Amino acid sequence: MWSEKYRPKKVEGLIGNEEARLVVSTWLAEWKPGGKAALLMGPPGTGKTTLVTLLARANGMNLVDLNASDVRTKEMLGRKLGEAMSTVSLFGERSLIFLDEVDGLAGRSDYGAVEFIKDAVKESQNPIAMAANDPDSDQIKKLASSCVAVRFRPPPPREVEMYLREIARAERVEVSGDALRACVLEAGGDVRQAVNLLQSGGSSGTSHGASYKDRERSVSEAFNGFFGAADKGEAAASLRKVALSPFEKVRELSRSVVRSGLPPEEMARAMEVVSRADLAIGRMVKGGEWRLLRYLDRGLVDGLFPVVKGGTVRYAGQDDLPFPVLSRIWNDSKKVKEVSLRYARRAHTSGSAARSQDLPYVFALCSGKRFREDLERSLGLDADKEMLESYDRFLQKESTR
Ligand SMILES: Nc1ncnc2c1ncn2[C@@H]1O[C@H](COP(=O)(O)OP(=O)(O)O)[C@@H](O)[C@H]1O
Ligand SMILES: [Mg+2]
């Protein structure tokens, strides 16, 4: 989750609510036994939990996190709170007690949680911070009256937008300003949700939905360029532009042929070429004859193009079910992009040429462990263990498509 990965690591990394943050950190710095509790009130995704966590760390304090769901009964609350309240280390280090999402607790008025907490605060040897979503609930109002109460508000849209842009840059995804703003608007001030929208491909409809559509369009244009080509040269050029692995290329071709209006005899001929190509790829990959994959396009141009040319066959992708192939490309597009950039640099070609011409082959070759490991090393995908593992998994998956 990007929202976890990019959870600010320092208080200064948070956006919005500068004054509120200052109030809370001053409260903590000045707190002495007998002092008030702090109550952070505001909608989800404004950084309340993050702030308290970071302040504890910055002050070298142990955080004792008591979530409402952990202390479902008065007895549980009493026991956990009692323990935490009195614990001061030998060296006088204090804990910061945090009752997060206290709405849930306070809401159960039947057990008098609010009174209970108020009493506890007076006796605590450690500062108590609380966070709540709804400042207007009666219970929270009651609690607020005895606390240093601080309101958190949604950060300004511009700041959220800038924050998302930073994350997009770090993740190397290209997102337009409009798309970013759509995420911001849809999230309505909830930063976590804005980040989640960015990660899941944008707010409904817009954002990198566009780039998914672009990919879909480019694959479909390339196939239709092949089917409608004037001659073999044009057919070959179009086929090269199909940014799919050899397996996928052949599978998509066969789907298009099957759904076309070709007369039976021609359809049978076309299907024979396609299934021979499919078998050949399987054999090449299995036998490690990687170089032969390069002849796949030529085989399809010589064998298939003369049968399908003339405009009867069109690419059958779009009106089909959600395209597993393209959605996969989309989901892994970050890795595809990173690999193609690095590959292009090594192979001294342009990134887009690498992606459409070489990469499908390179991916297919990756079913061989030796090849895959060499590639990972030469592209520097082995900088750390986590990176290597995630790329290795990705390349293995790519190779078997
Ligand atoms: N003010 C903020 N600045 C930067 N990121 C934020 C901010 N508020 C929330 N986030 C993002 O949302 C996630 C959840 O934040 P959190 O502190 O749990 O919010 P809250 O407790 O107010 O619901 C964080 O991991 C972070 O990615
Ligand atoms: Mg929270």
The confidence score (pLDDT) of residue 324 equals 41
From first to last of its 401 residues, the chain has per-residue pLDDT tens of 899 999 999 999 999 999 999 999 999 999 999 999 999 999 999 999 999 999 999 998 989 988 766 777 778 888 888 888 887 766 667 899 999 988 877 666 556 788 888 998 999 999 999 999 988 888 889 899 999 999 999 998 889 999 999 999 888 888 888 788 878 887 888 999 899 888 887 544 443 444 555 666 778 889 999 999 999 999 999 998 887 777 778 888 988 887 788 887 888 888 888 888 888 888 877 776 767 777 888 899 999 999 998 878 988 764 443 334 444 544 566 677 778 778 878 877 766 666 666 777 788 888 888 889 999 999 999 988 888 998 999 898 877 76
pLDDT tens track for 156-172: 888 999 999 999 988 88
Residue with the smallest CA separation from ligand 1 atom 8 is: 47
Q: Which numbered ligand comes closest to the C-alpha of 191?
A: 1
Cβ of 135 less than 6 Å from ligand 1: no
Q: From the CA of 180, how far away is ligand 2's center (Å)? A: 24
Q: Which numbered ligand comes closest to the C-alpha of 197?
A: 1
Q: From the CA of 101, how far away is ligand 2's center (Å)? A: 6
Report CA Rg, the chain.
Answer: 30
Q: From the CA of 191, how far away is ligand 1's center (Å)? A: 6
Cβ of 192 less than 6 Å from ligand 1: yes
The confidence score (pLDDT) of residue 339 equals 84
CA distance 330 to 283: 28
Cβ of 15 less than 6 Å from ligand 1: yes
Cβ of 49 less than 6 Å from ligand 1: yes
CA distance 350 to 60: 50
Cβ of 132 less than 6 Å from ligand 1: no
SS3 label, residue 97: strand
The confidence score (pLDDT) of residue 240 equals 87
The confidence score (pLDDT) of residue 398 equals 78
Residue with the smallest CA separation from ligand 1 atom 18 is: 49
The confidence score (pLDDT) of residue 323 equals 39
Neighbours of 179 (CB within 10 A): 24
Strands of the sheet containing 38-41, edge to edge, are 62-65, 95-99, 128-132, 38-41, 148-151
Q: Where do the H-state alpha helices sit in 124-206?
A: 138-144, 157-170, 177-187, 191-199
CA distance 390 to 401: 17
The confidence score (pLDDT) of residue 376 equals 94
Q: Where do the H-state alpha helices sit in 320-384?
A: 324-331, 333-347, 351-353, 359-365, 369-378
The confidence score (pLDDT) of residue 38 equals 98
Q: From the CA of 256, how far away is ligand 1's center (Å)? A: 47
Q: From the CA of 318, how far away is ligand 1's center (Å)? A: 38
pLDDT tens track for 260-277: 888 878 888 888 888 888
The confidence score (pLDDT) of residue 317 equals 64
